[in-house]
Structure formats: C-alpha cells, structure tokens
Structure 1
Amino acid sequence: MFLKRIKLPVIALAFLLALAGCGNSEPAAQGSEPTTTASASPASSSPESASPDTAAPAEQPRVVSTTVAITQMLDQLGVDLVGIPTSAKTLPERYDGITKVGNPMSPDMEIVKSLKPTDVLSVTTLQYELEPVFDAAKVEATFLDLTSLAKMQEAFTNLGEQFGKQAEAAEINAGYDKKLEEIRAAVEGKPSPTVLILLGVPGSYLVATEHSYIGDLVRLLGGVNIVQGEKVEFLASNTEYLQKSNPDVILRAAHGMPEEVVKMFDEDFKKNDIWKHFNAVKNGRVYDLPEELFGTTANIAADEALEALVPMLYP
C-alpha cells in the first residue's frame, strides 16, 4: 500500500500547532473513534432544585471556548463567554478582555477550572489528544464535530438550542444553504475535476480525504477526491501512487507557519522530479489555499471558501 491510514500522535501534534496560529483547525491523530457525539448539544449544569413554592433562577451559562472556530461561531450566535483560546488570530471584539485559557491543543486546565465553567467546548479532531487531559483534570468537555459544512451547521443548530439562540442559528444556516445552492447552480453541467488535497505543516504534509473539511468543500462543488474508500480525514502518502491517479487539480493547504510551508511545497515540487509528470502541474492547476479561509475544521468563512474554490475547480 502506498497510502496508509495514520494514527500518529507526533504528526497530529505538529498539525495541531495550526490551531494556535490559524485558530480554525485541528488535525489530530486519526483512526480513534470519538467517545462523545461531536455534534451533540453541549451539556450545561442543571439549575439547583427549588422548593415547590419558589422557582430557583436558571443558572447563567459560563462557557469556555477553546478553539477560534468555536469562538467565532458563538460570536455569530451572540453567546457570551468566560474563557477564550489564546491565538495569534484576532478574536471577535465581543470577547475583548475575556480570560484566555491557552492555545487550542493544550488549554491550561488550572485556568479553565478557575472559571467554574458550565460548558467547555473543543472539537472532535482534538479529542484524541485532549480528552485524557480534560478527564485527568475532572473537567467535562464537549467536542463539536466541525469536519464538514453540514456538521458545522448541525453544531450551530445544537448550540442555538442550548443557549436560546435558535433564530440566529437558523438564519446563519440558511445563509450557507443559499450560498451553496447558488454556486452549485453556477457549475452545474461542468465536468467534475479530479482533485488531490495536500495538507502541510513545517516539515511534512498529508493527503486529505473527502472526510476532511477541505475535502468536503471540494465534494460539495462536484470535485472528485483521488482518494476514495477511506474513513479517516488524512492519510500518509507516496508521490508515485498519487501520480498514478494523475489529478486535474492539486490544492495545497498550509498551516502552522503558512509562509514556511508554502516554501516547503515549492521546493519539493521543484526538487522531486515526479511532480512534473502530474497533469495538474503541467497545466498550471496547482493552488495554494489561503489559510484564513481554509482551516482544518469548518469555520464561519465556509461561504467565502466555497466561492474561492470555484475558479480553481472550474477555470
């Protein structure tokens, strides 16, 4: 086998560095089934029991968001937070002055606990690494599934129900549905391109399947991922095997240190002679995806990402 499934904590940790910098995504070790339903509504503490004659006031949610993607989603819904991730990205103004709990791949458990949260939110792509950390600290966390646009919409719906923002969630999801419908209508009838998606961090890269977020966007627009029949988000790769598939388009997503990763891609494409045999390279259809739009998990820029993909897939 030239492509193999991976469950690599070392590579996972490297990819998770993207969270602190780009704040959207988080490829962690694959092949480990989550133990928490990713799109399930976050669990909040129940109000204290009241006497028959006196109704106790509902407990005000104290929500800690540990990733930028989730923080942006909660801002869209108008949900207040008591804790936010530490990130080089600019977070929504709503949360200026809110306590920072550390970067998404290694939140500070002492700070999290000190905030007395009712809800702590992370993502399923970090669950393999973080669930033992949360468990050891006796912090109950909910892991949202943001591996596709549809999963993010489901998460919006559940968060809306949890925090009384159903109307806001419905409006947000309707906007994504409308954008997708418009773009699909524009490309209807055009030949479906075959696509190779490379996800890179400094020093290495993986192949993204259609079960990854970027792979899902490509699929939604009619692109055909050259890797089929897998259940994981990312695979280790061999360029000789990939060349046999000879994709029409190569998409390169750089994370962690984008400029360094793009240079790594450029050098590899020049030094590794096999790349020149790819149709995508011959025809000038190799594209570097802007990190602000193409995170490793779904995020609120999904509509812009769909628009940006159209000229790459259908020039």
Structure 2
Amino acid sequence: GIPTSSKKLPERYAKVEQVGSPMGPDLEIIRMLKPDVVLSTKTLEADLKAGFAGADLQADFLDFTSIDSMQTEISKLGKDFDRTEEATKLNEDLSTKINQVKKRVSKKKQPSVLILMGVPGSYLVVTENAYIGDLVKIAGGKNVITNQKVEYLASNTEYLQNANPDIILRAAHGMPAEVVKMFDEEFKTNDTWKHFDAVKNNRVYDLDENLFGMTASLNAPAALLEMEKMLYDN
C-alpha cells in the first residue's frame, strides 16, 4: 500500500492501494493488505505507534530528520529487502552531490539564519535537529537557535529579534498558499519584524514545500542547491 498524497508519486504506484495520509493512515485497509511491515517516519512515531500495535501491525519508524540519518536508513532498507547494491549506489550518488555543495560553501562567510515552520494559524521555530535545519547547516548557514534537543520550538519574537539573523526562511507544512498568506500578514502587522536586518535587506525567503518537506527525501540535492542560492544570494 501507499499513502494518499497530493504530491505526484512514481507511475509504478498508480494501481497500488492507497491507505490514507501518512499522519492518519487507515488501519483497517492496512490490515486487509496483510503487510509484513509498515514503514513510517520517526517524527510520527509518538502519534502512530500505539495504533499500529493495537492493530497488530509491525511498524518500523525511519529516521529522516537529516540527510545523514536518511542515508543510514537507506543502507538498512537495502539490507532488509535484499537491495544492498542499489542502496549503496544511491547513497554514493547522494554523497557526491552533497559534498560538491559542502566544498563550494566551505570558504564562504557563514550567514546567520532563522527558520520558521508555518502551519495554518501559527508557526514554530525550526532547530538544527529538523531536516530543514540540517540543510541549512550543510549549506554553511548558522542557525540562530542552538543547543536544543527538539526539532521545533514555540516562537518568541523578542528573543529572535536579539538574535537578528541575516536571513529568514519561511517553510510551510500543509496548505502552503494559506501559510504564506499568514506569514505575509504576520510580517506586515507585527511591528517587531521590521527591525530584523533580514527584513530590511529583503533576505526573507519562502521555501517550496515540494523541495523542503518536514523530513528528508531523495530530492535533498536539489533542495541543497536552492538553499545555497538563498544563503549566498546567488
């Protein structure tokens, strides 16, 4: 089975049974399919683990909070499903593209970055422990939020103003058009934002949800290239 998604999935999955959204899978449909294992992401483990256990379904929660952890999971999946050679090749290709970006940015001045994750009606601050935070770090940016164990924090605009980042990145999770509109309204009506250097210098960027999701994916190299352009304004 595959998750129900508004995003375009590879054609080979066109006739595969849909099992509901990643955040709210239909356990009855999944049970009828009798899978050996259900694959989900670690970010959803707290919400889904009990439900899968109650439905007597074995679930593996994969850590896609960074490119490095995704590559570890790719290696594990290759071993589990007898695709070691394919997994190794995939990881080698990813590493080559990632290292090219690292090399280009290694001698550039590190910009300070604030990342906001918007959901309809509110927004959170993204730490370096989340996937987008990992992309910023790899691309040579310095997250103004440091020494945190969690992926997301509640926003405190006064504290953020004191951090005064060079760049503000605004990401959307679900309903991106509505979230961008919310961000625009927040930045227009909350006077605090106009004091940020990033706002004064027009260094506020909205991230494309198709490239910059909540978890790592195989389009990470393309996301890194876009991140590099934004961080160094090129």
TM-score (norm 2): 0.98
The answer for the alignment partner of 2:46 in structure 1 is 128
* Alignment partners' CA distance in 1, 2:63 and 2:171: 20
What corresponds to 1:195 in structure 2?
113
For 2:34, the equivalent position in structure 1 comes to 116
Alignment of 1:56-71 (within 5 A): none
Which stretch shifts more, 87-96 or 125-134? Answer: 87-96
Q: Which of 71, 81, 88 matches 1:163? A: 81
Q: Is the 8 A contact 2:127 2:133 kept in 1?
A: yes
Q: Which amino acid aligns with 1:157?
A: S
Q: For 1:177 and 1:205, how far apart are their aligned partners in 2?
A: 32
Letter in 2 for 1:148: S
Query: Which residue of 280, 300, 303 maps to 2:198?
Result: 280
Q: Are 1:252 and 2:202 counterparts? A: no
Secondary structure in 2 matching 1:100:
coil
Asked if the contact 2:113–2:165 (Cα under 8 Å) also holds between the matched residues in 1, the reply is yes
Deviation of 1:199 (Å): 0.3
Task: Please say if residues 37 and 57 of structure 2, whose CA atoms lie closer than 8 Å, have aligned partners that are also in contact.
Answer: no
Answer 1 or 2: which has greater helix percent.
2
- SS at structure 2 position matched to 1:118: coil
Give the corresponding residue for 1:243. 161
Q: Distance in 2 between matches of 1:214 and 1:160?
A: 25
Separation (CA, whole Å) in 2 of partners of 1:211 and 1:188: 21
| CA displacement at 1:188 relative to structure 2 | 2.1
- Range that drifts further, 263-272 or 165-174: 165-174
| Counterpart for residue 16 of structure 2 | 98
For residues 56-105 of structure 1, give each alpha carbon's deviation from its aligned partner in whole angstroms, at most 9, with x where no partner exists: xxxxxxxxxxxxxxxxxxxxxxxxxxx11111112111111111111111
Q: How far has the Cα of 1:135 moved from its partner?
A: 1.4
Residue number in structure 2 paired with 1:146: 64
Distance 1:200 1:287 in 2: 13
> After superposition, where does 1:290-309 map in structure 2 within 5 Å?
290-309=208-227
One-letter code of the match for 2:147?
G
Deviation per residue, 1:101-158 (Å, 9 max, x gap): 1111111111111111111100110001001111111111010000000011111111
Divergent runs of 4+, >4 A:
none
Instruction: Indicate conservation of the 8 Å contact 2:116/2:169, yes or no.
Output: yes
Q: Is the 8 A contact 2:129 2:149 kept in 1?
A: yes
- Aligned: 1:310 with 2:204: no
Equivalent pair of 2:117/2:124 in contact (CA under 8 Å): yes
* Unaligned 5+ runs, structure 2: none
Q: Which of structures 1 and 2 has the larger relative contact order (alpha carbons within 8 angstroms, sep 6+)?
A: 1
Alpha-carbon distance between aligned partners in 2 of 1:218 and 1:113, rounded to the nearest angstrom: 39
Displacement after TM superposition at 1:183 (Å) = 1.1
Match of 1:179 in 2: 97
Which blocks of at least 5 consecutive residues in structure 1 are unaligned?
A: 1-82
Q: Scaled by the length of structure 1, what TM-score is found?
A: 0.73
Q: Aligned pairs, how many?
A: 233
Does the residue aligned with 2:57 lie in a helix, a strand or coil? coil
The aligned counterpart of 1:271 is 189
- What's the secondary structure of 1:231's corresponding residue? coil
1:168, distance to aligned residue in structure 2 (A): 1.0
Partner letter of residue 240 of structure 1?
E
